[in-house]
Structure 1
């Protein structure tokens, strides 16, 4: 049976983008800090990914606040929810230094768990972890119409089967899942937080970034309009839109590996700063 995502590598510029992302992550893993203090880098990268993911949602907070909320909780429910989703993802990542990938829960189950974590405390309990049965999503409203009910459930299940059947490079799989979830917006809200958390997990669990510390969210937060425009282009399903999204995704991973390297340097120097 042919790989359902293999043809994407033939789109213009995609194979080169995948290779650049692979090289960037390969170079990162040889940083000396990962020999003994990789857990610190992964944890700090998670905080920075959380801050950037919240910024994409319009909730901009300093890194110092994210750190304090991670230890003490607080009254910033979106940030606290995003931190819970980050913690869930990091708990599913392969251990530092392990070889090979890890088995993940079925995609729909994973989405439900992440949504409950991310949206608990600021969405109604009746909406937590439930695919939209009717009505449009309340976030990412500029990405066009989104399916509901049986059609939405079928699309999520198809995405799950596609992921399980594909041996495509991790960056391609993560980009497809990320882009599909932004287009589908399966939940009433918090869809972006969930999509980015799932993508981070796939990049690590499928072996591209075994350090679990690459932070592509920083690149997306710094160029929000291109990020959303890329998602809209991907949602059209056109070869041009899909290729552009995959190329940009690879570039974001390269930038995220660069940010992870800066975090590794800071951990080694004992000066994380802001």
Structure 2
């Protein structure tokens, strides 16, 4: 699609019932977070805690539960992973690594999105797939058995085509001045729906959304925790919104984008709680 076609398509989706209000709410809460007193001088501390809570929530959405204290200690190097990881630890380690990687993706996620995706997948799936599957989309004949609740994954060729459309969307975002929340939500949903990687698609999708929200200026501090927002209501609510998206109709896509707006707003409120704790010296 040309940049003009992308702009028109995204504008139409951003105007679906309920979506403009959701965009406005997310922008309002993110702006409020940006001006929090704690973020005048202590953004790195608050952003680091946001990644801790984001990694924990992303991991839990994939069925791997760890306490926030353990995730915090792992991310700051106070404890290390076991030499041999059980299946829960494999997923959790990928979520921790991919969420940590988002800190370094702001300069490239909108200018070189395929590079950003490769880095995220390498982090997310390092302990899940053979080395030759890391950082690249599925090849013909390769399948993904993730998100089976959404139905079978598309064939590899279709998945690669949809991934290329995500790359085109991200690349067009700065010059076309596209609404960041809609772009991030579409990128997230398309990675899950297409499942372009053999494993790690959910973690990659959520980490990509986090990076786009920061790079696009909706949450330039990186303190909001959209992963926590997606987990509001539990995994069934998240999967239900994704299922609606995969129907492909206007109502389903609108429901997903409204869910994303609510998730970002809830994530910004979680960011405010982090900033409050930083300001009060209560952040462990």
TM above 0.5, yes or no, is yes
2:225 aligned partner: 215
Residue 211 (structure 2) aligned to one of 192, 201, 219 = 201
2:227 & 2:169 partners in 1: Cα distance? 24
2:128 & 2:109 partners in 1: Cα distance? 31
1:249 & 1:103 partners in 2: Cα distance? 19
Does the 8 A contact of 2:169 with 2:183 survive in 1?
A: no
1:55 & 1:105 partners in 2: Cα distance? 30
Does the 8 A contact of 1:77 with 1:121 survive in 2?
A: yes
Residue 192 (structure 1) aligned to one of 171, 192, 202 = 202
1:259 & 1:171 partners in 2: Cα distance? 17
1:203 & 1:142 partners in 2: Cα distance? 27
Where in structure 2 are the equivalents of 1:1-274 lying within 5 Å?
Answer: 1-2=4-5, 3=7, 4-70=9-75, 71=77, 72-75=79-82, 76-93=89-106, 104-133=110-139, 134-166=141-173, 167-222=177-232, 223-272=234-283
Does the 8 A contact of 1:54 with 1:82 survive in 2?
A: yes
1:210 & 1:108 partners in 2: Cα distance? 21
Does the 8 A contact of 1:136 with 1:145 survive in 2?
A: no
1:153 & 1:112 partners in 2: Cα distance? 13
Q: 1:38 to 1:79 in 2, by over 3 A?
A: same
**CA displacement at 1:154 relative to structure 2:** 1.6
Does the 8 A contact of 1:69 with 1:80 survive in 2?
A: no
Q: 72-81 vs 164-173, which deviates more? A: 72-81
1:122 & 1:237 partners in 2: Cα distance? 30
2:198 & 2:207 partners in 1: Cα distance? 17
In structure 1, the gaps of 5 or more residues are 95-101
**CA displacement at 1:135 relative to structure 2:** 4.0
1:105 & 1:125 partners in 2: Cα distance? 26
1:204 & 1:53 partners in 2: Cα distance? 17
Does the 8 A contact of 2:188 with 2:205 survive in 1?
A: yes
1:84 & 1:107 partners in 2: Cα distance? 18
In structure 2, the gaps of 5 or more residues are 83-88
Does the 8 A contact of 2:121 with 2:134 survive in 1?
A: yes
Q: 1:138 to 1:117 in 2, by over 3 A?
A: same
Q: CA RMSD in A?
A: 1.6
1:98 aligned partner: none
